[in-house]
Amino acid sequence: MNLRQRPAPTRGRGDPHAPPPAARYEEPYNIIPIHSLLSDHPSLRYPEVRAAAAALRAVGDLRRPPYREWRDGMDLMDWLGAFFGFQNDNVRNQREHLVLHLANAQMRLSPPPAIADNLDPKVLHSFRPWRETEYPWDAIKDRDVQVELLTVFITWAGLRFAQSILDAGTQYSLVSKDSKLLLFRMVMKSMVSLTWFHSRLYVGRGLREGLVDNIKYTLFWITILLSKFSFSYFLQIKPLVAPTKALLSLRLSRYNWHEFFSNTNRMAVVLIWTPVVLMYLVDIQLWYTVFSAFVGSVIGLFSHLGEIRNIEQLRLRFQFFASALQFNIIPEDLTLVAKDNLVQKLRNAYRRFTLRYGLGQPHKKLESSQVDARQFALLWNEIIFTMREEDLISNKDVELLELPPNCWGIMVVRWPCILLCNELLLALNQASELASAPDRWVWFRISTSEYRRCAVIEAYCSIRYVLLYIIHERSEERGIVTRFFEEIDRLVESGKFTTEYKCQALPNIHAKLITLVDILMSPKQDMRKLVDVLQTLYELMVKELPRCKKPVGQLMQQALAPRNPATTEEGLLFVNKVRFPKPDDAFFHRQLRRLKTILSSRDSMRDVPKNIEARRRIAFFSNSVFMNIPRAPQVEKMMAFSVLTPYYDEDVLYKKESLRNPNDDGISTLFYLQKIYEDEWENFMERMRGDGMENDDEIFTTRSRDLRVWASYRGQTLSRTVRGMMYYYRALKILAYLDTASEMEMQQGSMGLWGSRNLHQSRAVNEFGAVMMKFTYVVACQIYGTQKRKGESQAEDIANLMKNNEALRVAYVDEVHLGRGEVEYYSVLVKYNQQLKQEEEIYRIKLPGPMKLGEGKPENQNHAIIFTRGDALQTIDMNQDHSFEEALKMRNLLEEFKINHGIRKPTILGVRENIFTGSVSSLAWFMSTQEMSFVTLGQRVLANPLKVRMHYGHPDVFDRFWFLTRGGVSKASKVINISEDIFAGFNCTLRGGNVTHHEYIQVGKGRDVGLNQISMFEAKVSSGNGEQVLSRDVYRLGHRLDFFRMMSFFYTTVGFYYNTMIMILMVYTFLWGRLYLALSGVEGAALDNTRYNRAFGAVLNQQFVVQIGVFTALPMIVENSIEHGFLSAVWDYLTMQLQLASIFFTFSMGTRSHYFGRTILHGGAKYRATGRGFVVEHKSFAENYRLYARSHFVKGIELGVILIVYASNTPLAISRFIYIILNLSSWFLVVSWIMGPFVFNPSGFDWLKTVYDFNDFVKWLFYGGGSLAKADVSWETWWYEEQDHLRATGLWGKLLEIILDLRFFFFQYGVVYHLNIAEGKTGIGVYLISWVFMIAAVAVYIVMAYAQDKFAANEHIKYRKVQVVVTFAVVFVTLMLLNFTALTVLDLFSSVLAFIPTGWGIISIAQVLRPFLESSIVWDSVVSLARIYDLLIGMCVLAPLAFLSWMPGFQAMQTRILFNEAFSRGLQISRILTGKKINPES
């Protein structure tokens, strides 16, 4: 008898029929009741649990604690708690943790221990002490250290040793008798650099990789560098040499301004070369993009990605898919197979090869083994059922996709209907065409298609069963029908069917059979029609089908005709001898519908299922089982794991009111979801009707909770995440059932409609004890205790989640107020007790203080990680989802921890993500496509061959014990660890871990869907990367990695953001250089001189090459080509361009460069809550201005002013092609940065909304409520908040900021010399005099502002007088200048372009000097002037927006562009965004 199957032990020999004892209090427990090993709990049936608990109780002769009573039953954990003062619940928590770990470890032993009730010594082998060496030379005996020593010459340490030798050589002459200490210092410096590998600092010592990996990433970077240097020399540097010499030799007789750098044109050369040098430094990022796309595509192809892209391709390989699923998901009997045997590995490899390339006939194995067929059917049907539960498919889709159990005497595999469609009709056509051919040839032609063969056999068996079922059992007609089928079976077996019967008659019989099935399926039971069609079928069988018509006597003799011919209508054949199936016989009617589909379907059913997401999931899952995936162990033998999700106060379930209440645009969230997920809404309503809903209006009353759940499962809510992660528990239950179920149990289980719906009925709950030990889900709901006390809806929803999910635990921080301001903090774990029907507290562990000392999210994870269990830990964010079919492969994924990837086993298993928010709008599609290329192709290359993949997202699976002993999975220091996830990867790499990436399993991920959400996310990530540059983790990686791996690390982490910033800086230097050349006169002189014209044209063409950035889209195209096909990828790319994706990506580039650069200069990164709601409402102009004024609008206007001034002063003709090419991309950048927020803003070009936005903007700008108001109400508050980074920065940050702000003064310097009033003078006095006008303009503004503050409120007449006087003075001076000087009206407009940037520069510098100016009288003028400048900037941005809003057609076009993806599914955005009020119930 198997020890695992033995019943739970009982105490005594009492009467088995005695009543149960009275309920008594039991100590709460988490997973296993360790305190009561005799209780009736499924997990306690396993001897491994008892062995682990007994091992803990063996305290031996340990010294007893002196100040605590020692009682029998206490164990080692109690002993530790008594000696070290651990809290009681802490001891209980760790006891269960250790028992579970030891029990699971013993379960995995192969072969199992001889004595199951004793803890095997092998279990404790993983707990080994660290090895240290006393002397450095002892370390050389270790092979790892030998390899590190051999790589010394290409590492940082080698460079340091070379530096020490050079230092010794250059300073040796200084050594004398009096300076022997210097010689000793040189020697010691060299020795220290040589003994670097024995550093006592553990962090960073295990960064080497194996020889093969070294070769791979070294060749990768050598190829990139060779390509880069070749391109740079021949296309960047060499073409500029001659023009540079020409410019240096060009002698200008006269500059257009006062030139400080003589007349050598060196400044012009510097400005021309600066963007080229920047491009030289940054283009390696582009080369990396190109080569990584190529390498990633090759790896993806060899990984067999994208081989099954759609349902049609699955249809062709479904029988092999069934066998592949059986091979990978269902474990072998390990008692019959030697694990890790070479022969077994070769056999598995051969099996994978035959399945992958379609060799052999796997269907015969399924037909011969009913167990295999039923196992596959249970898994496949469960996958289909979960999709129906999620409303991805309809009831009809379920019937077309399900794999029903064998019944009705059908002895072939009953493939899903989508595979059998049209097959029977094709078989009939073949039989008719080959009517005179022998049986063997006809059957051979039919059997060339496995699905056609099965369709014929299933249809025949089903028709026989149906006919015999509807005819009365003891009637003569039943005997006739039975005899007919016996005769057909005899002829088929003897190969004489086509000899005796005419195949041309089969189509007529087929038509009548369809009529028969229709009559049986009809709700109106018309007995006359049933009898008529049966009689017609009989006539066809007797008269039309046989080649030789038999006389009545012969038919009677062969029992194929009634012996007593009828004389009345009552005595006719089949009259009163047939019956209809019972209306409530759901199973029979379901099989009838399947038979009808097989008989009558004529299309290929390529659109089944209709839902795009369901099709994608089925295609990916079917493709994944053909990939290189480790074979799954039994559930008992698998590694235990936990899932951890941090949660704060986001939505758990959407509230009914929030779903139905319309927003300002007249649209409710529910209506939006109904149109976005129209087919899923119809499926949901169909499911509700099938569940007893009689009226559709009930969905808003008695079924409102179902409605909330449906809507919440389409958003980024906690309930969606919990449902997805609990699929692990559901999958493990059905897998555990398949591991141990007998053939009879499996047959009974498969006879039900679904595999696991009635699992608890078919097997006792005790069978799932292993599942409880293998999986637990902890949600760290940080403020759940506060939410309960306040009675918030989130607390109730979380409690319902625990109630409905057995394996779910909730951890939270409880604040206990003791009075007098004292607060105690506890880390609490709770669950729902199914017996007591209430929430139950399991552990309460006191914390030394408040939990949130650093960043909130990682702190939340850190406090809850002690409640997780198992060997592995998967960190899941709150905006993620999962699916049942992917959860089935978790056992396979965990096996990767046992496999060497390179020279070591992995410590983080990278998991692929699927972005599920791409269908919301075109903007969400851009974001999801960009993200998909990174989480697939990008991370694929990072893991192999570059070996620098970190931890970028929360689907990754951690080696839990490895990380618990090395600082945990989350670093939480304030600011520096704002991007906490990637620091887990840094920590892993520095401490000798190994990060891999696996794409045969994927987890759903939600992303931000609105531009403001996306921008805040980009700002958070960019700021986080800026902080990473300052972290010691990046410093250590940069020093300890070898050169080529360091290159990989840099260009795939902080280097990407650094190079993005340099690209924007390159545009700045390019345009400022062009402006310098135009204003100084160098450009004109070079073009006027025919000798230098051609050379200078080469320079301009070179600058155009600098602006190329097309390669950034390459990874998206390549990855889409692999997974969806090349034509589909190209079409998607073209569609994205038509939907203005380039504007979005250019805008995002500005966001990244701004926040990364600001963090580098000043620090101060902060967490930005992006929100995860649906974005369908219009964002006001004021809100967009607050978010993008400094990051985009100001910079875009600056570049626009540069281009305007350049166009006004360049000698190039505006119509010349070279000018257009030169500035096209720059103007595109300006337009993207200024108009991007409005192009992707719903109702962005609506005229009425634009008017309302203008009024709101002016109201916000001139809010008079003081600076204590919020930033979204008061401009002044917002203006001060925008300067927070300047207050926190250091001296160098302020100096650099001032230096950068000085560029605004160049406009005035360059333009004033081109004014007619300057009369061609180039002396410095012209510029100095221009400052007189600047000071005068500022003075006029100050006088007007002073008069407004002093007189506008109480003495309005005086204020008007001041206005008149000042206006008259300004007009008078202007007229005098126009009449008595060379000033022209055009000069006035040019002066605006000169002086306004100077004012902005003054304001920017004043903000840096705020600590010195804020207390002076100047500061109020600065604030007032800054308000006017923001008004001017707002008007510059609002002007083109107002024009496009006024123009007809732009609003409709923008709506079409923004919501085009949703339009394809029937989204009525044109009606939504007109502002009409829509009834959500309509």
pLDDT tens digit string along 82-136? 888 899 999 999 999 999 999 999 998 888 888 878 888 888 776 655 455 555 5
Highest mean pLDDT out of 739-748, 904-913, 1005-1014: 904-913
Tokens of 794: 């989130």
State the number of CA atoms in the 13 A half-sphere of 194 facing the CB: 11
d(CA 578, CA 573): 10
d(CA 302, CA 695): 54
Closest CA to 1394 of 1318, 1283, 1298, 1295: 1318
State the number of CA atoms in the 13 A half-sphere of 967 facing the CB: 15
What is the pLDDT confidence band of residue 39, given thresholds at 50, 70 and 90?
confident
d(CA 833, CA 43): 16
> Does residue 408 carry a pLDDT above 70?
yes
What is the pLDDT confidence band of residue 1132, given thresholds at 50, 70 and 90?
confident
pLDDT at 1348: 74
Q: Do residues 888 and 378 lie in contact, with contact meaning Cβ atoms separated by under 8 Å? A: no
- Provide, for the chain, the percentages of residues in helix, strand and coil under a 3-state DSSP scheme, each rounded to the nearest 5: 65, 5, 30
pLDDT at 1284: 87
Closest CA to 424 of 481, 524, 507, 486: 507
What is the pLDDT confidence band of residue 264, given thresholds at 50, 70 and 90?
low
Q: Rounded mean pLDDT of 277-287? A: 86
pLDDT at 938: 87
pLDDT at 1382: 80
d(CA 508, CA 539): 11
pLDDT at 30: 92
The larger pLDDT score, comparing residue 945 to residue 1354, is at 945
Which of 175-189, 748-762, 1178-1192, 1309-1323 is least confident?
748-762
Q: Rounded mean pLDDT of 1024-1041? A: 89
What is the pLDDT confidence band of residue 16, given thresholds at 50, 70 and 90?
very low
Cα 1245 to the chain's mean position, in Å?
A: 31
The larger pLDDT score, comparing residue 1451 to residue 497, is at 497
Closest CA to 47 of 636, 731, 616: 636
> Does residue 21 carry a pLDDT above 70?
no
Closest CA to 1106 of 1189, 1222, 1238: 1222
Q: How far is CA 305 from CA 356, 996, 1123, 1304, 1305, in A?
A: 12, 17, 6, 53, 56
For residue 187, give the 3-state DSSP assignment.
helix
> Does residue 1061 carry a pLDDT above 70?
yes
What is the pLDDT confidence band of residue 1473, given thresholds at 50, 70 and 90?
very low
State the number of CA atoms in the 13 A half-sphere of 512 facing the CB: 18
What is the pLDDT confidence band of residue 1058, given thresholds at 50, 70 and 90?
very high
> Does residue 155 carry a pLDDT above 70?
no
d(CA 742, CA 738): 8
What is the pLDDT confidence band of residue 1218, given thresholds at 50, 70 and 90?
low
Q: Do residues 641 and 775 lie in contact, with contact meaning Cβ atoms separated by under 8 Å? A: yes
> Does residue 262 carry a pLDDT above 80?
no
DSSP category for residue 693: -
Tokens of 188: 């010691």
1393 CB neighbour count, 10 Å cutoff: 17
pLDDT at 3: 42
Q: Rounded mean pLDDT of 56-82? A: 86
Q: Do residues 912 and 267 lie in contact, with contact meaning Cβ atoms separated by under 8 Å? A: no
The larger pLDDT score, comparing residue 1021 to residue 183, is at 1021
Burial class (CB in 10 A: 0-12, 13-18, 19+), 1385: exposed
d(CA 52, CA 116): 10
Tokens of 631: 């074979």
Q: Rounded mean pLDDT of 1366-1388? A: 84
> Does residue 1209 carry a pLDDT above 60?
yes
pLDDT at 1219: 67
pLDDT at 747: 66
Burial class (CB in 10 A: 0-12, 13-18, 19+), 753: middle
Strand duo 838-847 + 872-875: pairing: unpaired
Tokens of 512: 């009548």
> Does residue 1280 carry a pLDDT above 70?
yes
Burial class (CB in 10 A: 0-12, 13-18, 19+), 487: middle
What is the pLDDT confidence band of residue 362, given thresholds at 50, 70 and 90?
low
The larger pLDDT score, comparing residue 37 to residue 1406, is at 1406
Which of 609-613, 725-729, 1179-1183, 1344-1348 is least confident?
1344-1348
Q: Rounded mean pLDDT of 1265-1274? A: 80
> Does residue 1471 carry a pLDDT above 50?
no
Contacts (Cβ under 8 Å, ≥6 apart) of 1325:
none
Tokens of 584: 């409530």
For residue 951, give the 3-state DSSP assignment.
coil
Closest CA to 1095 of 1105, 1107, 1083: 1083
**pTM confidence score:** 0.88
Residue 721 phi, psi (nearest 5): -65, -45
Which of 247-256, 412-421, 1174-1183 is least confident?
247-256
The larger pLDDT score, comparing residue 1458 to residue 107, is at 107
pLDDT at 339: 54
What is the pLDDT confidence band of residue 198, given thresholds at 50, 70 and 90?
very low
Q: Which long-range contacts (CB under 8 A, 24 or more apart) does 1249-1252 make?
A: 1249/1178, 1249/1445, 1250/1181, 1250/1438, 1250/1441, 1250/1442, 1250/1445, 1252/1180
Q: What percent of the chain has pLDDT over 90?
A: 30
What is the pLDDT confidence band of residue 201, given thresholds at 50, 70 and 90?
low
pLDDT at 2: 43
Strand order in the sheet with 872-875: 838-847, 822-833, 808-819, 775-781, 641-647, 872-875, 957-959, 908-915, 995-1005, 880-881
